[in-house]
Amino acid sequence: MLSADDRTNFQTLSRAFQRNHVVLLEVERVADGAVVSALCAVGHEDGLFTFTPFATMIEGNPFELFNPPNPDGGFFAEDRAG
């Protein structure tokens, strides 16, 4: 189940998309110093822009990295051995 924070962040990002206040930026991930692409909401106040990262882009093929949810519960698992 999605957390309340995830839902709030998604709603914020959705509003930013509706206003065309979204950019894709390269950012440095603090945990390992890797440079990654992030979806950021853009704010503007007093002549200053702020960029709030909400999501990083998937590194690789998302269909190979994630299993989709199963409506009956759990997730569909593909055989990745072959």
Q: What is the pLDDT of residue 27?
A: 97
Q: How far is CA 22 from CA 18, 33, 34, 57, 69, in A?
A: 9, 23, 22, 14, 27
Tell me the pLDDT tens digit for each residue of 46-76: 999 999 999 999 999 988 899 989 899 888 8
pTM of the model: 0.75
The band of 79, judged by pLDDT with boundaries at 50, 70 and 90, is low
Higher confidence at residue 1 or residue 24? 24
